[in-house]
Structure 1
Amino acid sequence: MKNSLWVIVLGAILSIQNAFSYPITIQSCGKSVTITHRPTHAIIHDVNMAEMAFALHLQPFMAGVTGISGWNKRTPAFQKELGSLPEIATHYPTLEQLLNAGTDFFFAGWNYGMHVGGDVTPETLAAQGIPTLVLSESCMRVGQASAIPSLELLYKDEESLGQAFDRSVEAQHLISGWKSRVQVVQRRLAGHHPVRVFLYDSGRDRPFTAGKYALATELIRLSGGQNIFDDLQTNWGSSSWESAAVRDPEAILIVDYGNGIADSLKFLQNNPLLMENAALKANRVLAVRYDEMTPSPANIDAIEKMSVFLHAETAP
């Protein structure tokens, strides 16, 4: 009996040790990244990636964030999650800023905190002993073979984040819940014809929008729509107002960076090429937040919200 009890206790101890075993290796943009210890001074870039960290309650292991207030107005909910964590750079951080913060882990992406050839890249950080998790949606920016994005990009990044901080169980629980919610929407939309959707982010001379390789295009599809620029050969980029008009969207999404969409809507309504558009005339317009359209936990909320907007007849 004593021997059996000792075996059980020893097994429990080994399980705990294994659960906290470092180093670990994760895959990021097709490359192996080794993490020698659970980070204690992580820096997370941008609202969407910060929310991925907050979903795993990683604030105690963070030294701060970057790239928030330079583009987005903080919502009360985001500020509550952020707490007293500082923003060490309003836009893209410099290598010096990251080193001064004692960074031991950086979560960012290409054109989401890092530029090709810039002083902050996975390579320059690795030279300082800092591992980098790169946002999967952005990997095409460095020549990685492109594939039509799916929510697996979000799930993979959340899973990798969980592995890096010994939060794998929590990450899997989150992902399972997200998948269930998306499945509910898909069952509700079964058999409904997709609605043509124009996603307007910004731009006056030319519309800046989501293209073929943006996760936003897949979010629109999962919501019962079709991005009118789903043939634009990029993730985010510019098109033309002539193309937007010719493709005749039946509904319009406008990205809200925290100051509302009144100015953007007024601009579209007074655009000579779009002012006769039926969606604008009928005010079939929906505000979507930046974090809802870029990889983040808010993607699931966005799918639920947009599906009701595009197919009100299916509303639960």
Structure 2
Amino acid sequence: MRTRVPLVAALATTVLVTGCGAEVESEAKASGKVTVKRCGEPVEYTVPRRAVAYEGGSADKLFSLGLTDRVLGYVMPSANPPVSESPWAADYARVEMLSDDLLNKELVVEARSDFVVAGWNSGFKDERGITPEILDKLGIQSFMHTESCYNYPGFPEKATPFEALYTDLDRLGRIFRVEKKAAEVVAGLRQRVAAVEEAAPKDDPLPVFLYDSGTDQPFTAGNQVPPNDIIKSAGARNIFDGLDQRWTQVGWEAVAEGRPEVIIILDYGDQPAQEKIAFLKKSPHTKDLPAVRNDRFFVLDYNEGISGPRNIDGLEKFAHYLRDLES
């Protein structure tokens, strides 16, 4: 079900996102501290040397800025697609896989990390005993995806998902003192988004439902996560774009009322896309939806759906899929 991308476009994408690596400034120039926001909280950072990234989105942001030499390793739960499929597979191979489980404080301390990148309520979570506040007390710096900050206690920050991605790259560039590289990467991503939006249909946007998981109640995307911007920039409409949420549960009745013409399936390891499609085709809640009757399913890779540079890959593929529907 995965949509093919023209070879020329794919090659252009690879050049834009991988680049030739950033030149981290000399020790003299990079010494001292810089104040950068962590969600809405101004935080002083020294240049990290042993960064730990949780999930593909965090690692991709660091690798896209050419910071592989400053990355100690990554934590990658088994639901994530193989890192060998990443545009930065060579970078993943150069650093250590620290765990295939969830992020935890003990792992970070044992690794002697000085910087951790994750999202709020995903990698960082009160219930698991690893939060920025806890790490601060241990002298370990941390950074959170802006996309996850809208309900961060005490220091919330809200931005549309693509703008949150650009913000993260800019802030990470400042923390690591590679501002020029960050500006180049962001400019490239913005150009790609603008090109898709320019070619997107302007009238009568197709209603789209993103199906993450769930049988009794579906788990879907509100307007605070990247798929909402992917759908919107491609010229379609998320039927749950009115929900001021990230990933959230809804009712099947609400899905039916939305009459989606296309269903995006979020694909990840422990819940393969084909199993989800098979469920939607037989479920009495969904088998008569226009998207199901017309077999209009688009498979979105997990790392194209969580905050990271691969969001723009997902956008380009989805826009191509919609154009094929029109032809």
Q: CA deviation at 1:81?
A: 2.8
| Displacement after TM superposition at 1:313 (Å) | 6.9
Give, in whole Å, the separation in 2 of the partners of 1:287 and 1:105. 33
**Residues 17 and 131 of structure 1, relative CA distance in 2, 3 Å threshold:** closer
The 2-side partners of 1:314 and 1:189 are apart by 11
Q: Which amino acid letter does the alignment assign opposite residue 290 of structure 2?
A: A
Distance in 2, Cα, partners of 1:112 & 1:223: 27
In structure 2, the residue matched to 1:12 is: none
Higher mean Cα deviation, 255-264 or 240-249? 255-264
Partner of 2:150: 140
Residue number among 304, 314, 321 corresponding to 1:302 in the alignment? 314
How many angstroms does 1:124 deviate by? 0.7
| Cα 1:75–1:174 shift into 2, 3 Å | same
Q: Residue 18 and residue 156 in structure 1: after superposition, are their counterparts in 2 closer, same or farther (change >3 A)?
A: farther
Q: 1:282 matched to which residue of 2?
A: 294
Counterpart contact for 1:279–1:285, Cα < 8 Å = yes
Q: Which residue of 2 aligns with 1:199?
A: 210
Structure-2 residue corresponding to 1:71: 79
Q: Deviations over 1:82-101 (max 9, x none)?
A: 11422323232221111110
- Backbone CA RMSD of aligned residues: 2.1
Task: Give the alignment partner of residue 278 of structure 2, picking from 261, 266, 275.
Answer: 266
Verify: 1:155 aligned to 2:155, yes or no. Answer: no
2:5 equivalent in structure 1: none
Return 5+ residue gaps in structure 2 as ranges: 1-24
Alignment: residue pair count: 299
Q: 1: CA distance between counterparts of 2:59 and 2:152?
A: 23
AA of the residue aligned to 2:178? R
**C-alpha deviations, 1:83-142, integer Å up to 9, x for none?**
142232323222111111011001111122011354211111111111111111111232
Q: What is the DSSP-based 3-state SS (H/G/I as helix, E as strand, rest coil) of the residue aligned with 1:140?
A: coil
Alignment of 1:25-64 (within 5 A): 25-36=35-46, 38-64=47-73
Q: Is the 8 A contact 1:148 1:212 kept in 2?
A: no
Specify which structure has the bigger relative contact order, considering alpha-carbon pairs within 8 angstroms and separated by 6 or more residues.
Answer: 2
Whole-angstrom CA distance in 2 between matches of 1:44 and 1:116: 18
Aligned to 1:97: 107
For residue 225 of structure 1, report the CA deviation from its aligned partner: 1.1
In structure 2, do the counterparts of structure 1 residues 64 and 262 end up closer, same or farther at CA, with 3 Å as the change threshold?
same
Structure 1: which 5+ residue stretches go unaligned? 1-14
| 2:92 alignment partner in structure 1 | 82
Q: Which residue of 2 aligns with 1:225?
A: 236
Is the counterpart of residue 107 in structure 1 residue 117 in structure 2? yes
Query: Does the C-alpha gap of structure 1 residues 146 and 61 become closer, same or farther in structure 2, counting only changes over 3 Å?
Result: closer
Give the conservation status (yes or no) of the 8 Å contact 1:35–1:131. Answer: yes
* Cα pair 2:147 2:159 within 8 Å, conserved: no
Q: Is the 8 A contact 2:77 2:102 kept in 1?
A: no
TM-score when normalising by structure 1: 0.88
User: What's the CA shift string for 1:240-288, capped at 9, x where partnerless?
Assistant: 1121112110101001114741101001101101101121121111100
Residue 192 of structure 1 and its aligned partner are, at CA, apart by 3.6
> Residue 140 of structure 2 is aligned with which of 119, 122, 130?
130
Amino acid in the other structure paired with 2:286: L
Question: Do structure 1's residue 242 and structure 2's residue 253 form an aligned pair?
Answer: yes
Corresponding position of 1:4: none
**Contact 1:46 1:112 (C-alpha < 8 Å) held by counterparts:** no
Q: What TM-score, normalized to structure 2?
A: 0.85
Deviates more, 1:244-253 or 1:79-88: 79-88
Shift of 1:77: 3.2
How far apart are 1:148 and its partner, in Å? 5.8
Q: Which sits farther off after the overlay, 212-221 or 76-85? A: 76-85
Given the superposition, is the C-alpha separation of residues 96 and 147 from structure 1 closer, same or farther in structure 2, using an over 3 Å criterion? closer
Superposed displacement of residue 220, structure 1: 1.0
1:314, 1:308 → 2: CA distance?
10
Distance 1:314 1:167 in 2: 42
Indicate the percent of aligned positions where both proteins have the same amino acid: 30
Other structure's SS at 1:141 match: coil
- Counterpart residue type for residue 50 of structure 1: A
> How far is 1:311 from its partner?
3.1
Q: Partner letter of residue 157 of structure 1?
A: D
